[in-house]
Structure 1
Amino acid sequence: MRLRSDQKTVIIQKLQDYYYQEHEKELGIIGAENLYDFFMKNCAPLIYNLAIEDIQGVILQQFESIQEDIEVLKKR
């Protein structure tokens, strides 16, 4: 999964800010980029798959609702 350069820059800055708030130490750009790469490699796919499962549930609910609407429209 790849983000736009500006999105990556924002996340790296947030990582640096978070690290400073938690540890009162600076996290350099290389360290922040390494942390970003780690999360993108190890966490992003899991989060992405959860999002896909969520949307799959929503789509299935909508499909079931459409099926119910179609049944109501059928002439008996």
Structure 2
Amino acid sequence: MFCPLTFLILYGSGVIWWKALLSGLGVGVGGLVLVLPFILSWGNVDRSLWSQEEHMKRQIRYREKLRQWENQEEDDR
């Protein structure tokens, strides 16, 4: 979102198009560098911190999915 906006603002204010494009790409790469570590760290949540109730819910959902997969395999035969 900020990359095209940066490009349009700079290009509209008289900056050469390729410098405006490089600046827009720089803003995009900088944003990714700042945000990507947070996105990647959310995937590595320590499940030992979850409540016992949440753990049980996940186990039940997993078992239901497993049953569905087994039923699909039986239907495919």
TM-score range, shorter chain: 0.3 to 0.5
TM-score by length of 2: 0.39
For normalisation by structure 1, the TM-score amounts to 0.39
Q: Return the index of the structure with the highest Cα Rg.
A: 2
